[in-house]
């Protein structure tokens, strides 16, 4: 009974807090609208109403071939079951004006064909939202509509029927508050939403060294670390209320989520927030921590739990806004940005194009290096070229070796090609800009391959020396048969403790 009373009290407290937040949001919107009007700017809600009127004028669903979408950022890209990609929304800033989109594109990768899908009931323009595909539907939640000076955050959930290309807005009762920069994924028959960012007031814009057009107060800018579930079966939201004494990630936006379905775990990495200590100025913080969200308790009608994990291996440098996709048991992370804020909100940004993989079984980071596909027989040609140089230094005593090497090379090429193809079956690859296939290899595999090649070279050299010694001895005493010389002993490469422990496991 006491446990039920505690849950009821917690639910009542959450409901009261939600009402207070909604009231504060209305106050902030009203204030932002007044400031925009005083500054001679158009009301952002009026702009959105104009967009909705234009969409209402559409009377039919149209799917037409299209050129590649115009340049944009902060759009969503979701993969369909058949491999096609759905691209929605985004924004483009030309240095003066910021434009948000609500276009929906479908890209067929094999044919490299784009199609533009227009519907009468399309969601309003937005960026920094999230979208996922579950069965025959695309789900889009949240995001923001941004001009050069104003923000409007959404809390709506939209669903696109992938068979009919028709949109519908779902009931949002009990769902997350307005936000952008959140992260969203699918676990079993649930939509999972974590974190995000909210700002109602207009962006601080310095007009001169002495005046500003507006200011941002702590009450109008905030980050979240709350967790929501949307049940695809009954189309209802549920907020996960975790005990205060239990560890959980700090509020943030721009983090990454990866689902390991085999053990019902969601991994969360990184993110960004502004943190203000008492008596100090708020400063941007880029998170590099990694957490595991254990979802299995939900199956038994219990709440999930967070677990903070240690950073092992070659982890990425501090960054936010990277992309992450799951391949087998690894979460592949690409790119991202590190922002350093200077005076008057000027940003110095460093963008990345490197790739890392997080092994969700070993709970360890690996850095991936991009390589072009190896040509069959390339290694043999290098060895032959090296042998040719050695032959020239020996004044060309062995004239018949060329034909034999050529025959051996053909057989070796076939064997090497087969080995490469077998190896590529377990590697991740993509088509590069020049049309060639680029495969990803982690540090462990690369080190093993290099070590193997070193051993092969040493053994080959040792065997060649042994053969040369045998020939010399046969010239003197033909009846003497030397025992075969074994491979050279190679000193093992030192390993750090973590690598030894991982190998033992």
317 shares its domain with 457: no
197 shares its domain with 180: yes
208 shares its domain with 285: no
Model confidence at 115: pLDDT above 70: yes
* Boundary of a domain, candidates 174, 208, 241: 241
51 shares its domain with 177: yes
172: closest CA among 157, 182, 159? 157
Show the domain range for 300: 259-372
The contacts of residue 316 (CB under 8 Å, 6+ apart) are 270, 288, 322, 333, 336, 352, 354, 356, 365
- Give yes or no for a contact between 134 and 235, defined as CB atoms under 8 angstroms apart: no
451: closest CA among 443, 462, 461? 443
- DSSP H helices, 338-489, are 378-393, 401-424, 443-476
Interatomic CA distance for residues 389 and 55, integer angstroms = 73
403 shares its domain with 346: no
- 201: in domain: yes
Please report the pLDDT score of residue 18 as a whole number: 58
DSSP-derived 3-state class of residue 425: coil
pLDDT by residue (tens digit) across 416-425?
555 555 555 5
Interatomic CA distance for residues 48 and 147, integer angstroms = 11
Please report the pLDDT score of residue 14 as a whole number: 62
- 9: in domain: no
501 shares its domain with 451: yes
How open is the CA angle 319-325-326, to the nearest 5 degrees?
125
DSSP-derived letter for residue 212 is B
381 shares its domain with 448: no
Model confidence at 189: pLDDT above 90: yes
pLDDT by residue (tens digit) across 306-322?
999 999 999 999 999 99
Q: How many CB atoms are closer than 10 A to CB 113?
A: 12
* Boundary of a domain, candidates 331, 355, 372: 372
- 70: in domain: yes
- Give yes or no for a contact between 438 and 371, defined as CB atoms under 8 angstroms apart: yes
pLDDT band at 276 (very low <50, low <70, confident <90, very high): confident
pLDDT by residue (tens digit) across 55-103?
777 779 999 999 999 999 999 999 999 999 999 999 999 988 999 999 9
82 shares its domain with 158: yes
| % residues pLDDT > 90 (the chain) | 49
pTM for this predicted structure: 0.68
- 431: in domain: no
* Boundary of a domain, candidates 356, 372, 388: 372
74 shares its domain with 95: yes
Higher pLDDT, 203 or 24: 24
pLDDT by residue (tens digit) across 437-485?
666 655 555 555 655 666 566 656 655 655 555 554 444 333 333 444 4
Compute the residue count for the chain.
Answer: 505
164 shares its domain with 283: no
56 shares its domain with 148: yes
Strands 305-309 and 337-341: unpaired
- 1: in domain: no
DSSP-derived letter for residue 249 is P
What crossing angle do the helices spanning 401-424 and 378-393 adopt, rounded to 10°?
150
- 435: in domain: no
- 26: in domain: yes
Interatomic CA distance for residues 280 and 347, integer angstroms = 20
- 433: in domain: no
Total domains present in the chain: 4
Strands 183-187 and 190-199: antiparallel
217 shares its domain with 352: no
Model confidence at 391: pLDDT above 60: no
């Amino acid at each position: 009974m006491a446990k039920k009373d505690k849950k009821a009290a917690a639910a009542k407290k959450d409901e009261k807090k939600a009402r207070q937040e909604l009231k504060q949001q209305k106050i902030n919107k009203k204030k932002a609208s007044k400031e925009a009007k005083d500054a001679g700017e158009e009301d952002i809600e009026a702009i959105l109403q104009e967009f909705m009127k234009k969409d209402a004028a559409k009377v039919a669903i149209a799917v037409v071939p299209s050129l590649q979408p115009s340049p944009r950022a902060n759009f969503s890209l979701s993969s369909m079951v058949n491999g096609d990609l759905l691209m929605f929304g985004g924004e483009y800033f030309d240095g003066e004006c910021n434009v948000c989109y609500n276009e929906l594109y479908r890209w067929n990768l094999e044919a490299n064909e784009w199609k533009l899908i227009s519907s009468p009931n399309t969601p309003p323009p937005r960026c920094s939202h999230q979208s996922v595909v579950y069965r025959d539907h695309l789900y889009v939640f949240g995001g923001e509509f941004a001009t050069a000076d104003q923000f409007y955050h959404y809390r709506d959930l939209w669903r696109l029927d992938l068979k009919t290309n028709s949109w519908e807005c779902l009931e949002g009762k009990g769902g997350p508050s307005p936000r952008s920069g959140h992260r969203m994924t699918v676990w079993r028959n649930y939509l999972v939403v974590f974190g995000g960012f909210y700002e109602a007031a207009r962006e601080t814009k310095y007009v001169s060294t002495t005046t500003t057009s507006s200011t941002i107060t702590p009450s109008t800018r905030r980050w979240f670390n709350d967790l929501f579930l949307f049940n695809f079966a009954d189309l209802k939201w549920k907020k996960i209320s975790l005990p205060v004494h239990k560890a959980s990630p700090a509020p943030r936006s721009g983090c990454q989520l990866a689902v390991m379905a085999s053990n019902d775990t969601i991994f969360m990495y990184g993110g960004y927030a502004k943190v203000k200590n008492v008596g100090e100025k708020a400063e941007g913080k880029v998170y590099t921590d990694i957490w595991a969200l254990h979802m299995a308790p939900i199956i038994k009608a219990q709440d999930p739990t967070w677990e903070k994990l240690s950073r092992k291996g070659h982890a990425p440098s501090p960054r936010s806004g990277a992309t992450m996709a799951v391949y087998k048991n690894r979460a592949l992370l690409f790119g991202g940005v590190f922002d350093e804020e200077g005076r008057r909100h000027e940003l110095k940004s460093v963008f990345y194009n490197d790739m890392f993989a997080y092994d969700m079984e070993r709970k360890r980071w690996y850095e991936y290096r991009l390589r072009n596909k190896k040509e069959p027989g390339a290694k043999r040609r290098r060895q032959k070229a090296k042998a040719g140089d050695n032959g020239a230094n020996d004044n060309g005593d062995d004239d018949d070796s060329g034909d034999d090497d050529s025959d051996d090379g053909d057989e070796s090429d076939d064997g090497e090609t087969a080995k490469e193809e077998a190896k590529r079956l377990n590697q991740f690859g993509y088509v590069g800009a020049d049309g060639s296939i680029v495969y990803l290899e982690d540090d462990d595999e690369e080190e093993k391959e290099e070590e193997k090649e070193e051993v092969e070279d040493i053994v080959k050299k040792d065997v060649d020396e042994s053969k040369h010694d045998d020939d010399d001895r046969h010239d003197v005493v033909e009846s003497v048969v030397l025992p075969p010389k074994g491979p050279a002993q190679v000193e093992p490469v030192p390993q750090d403790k973590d690598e030894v422990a991982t190998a033992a496991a």
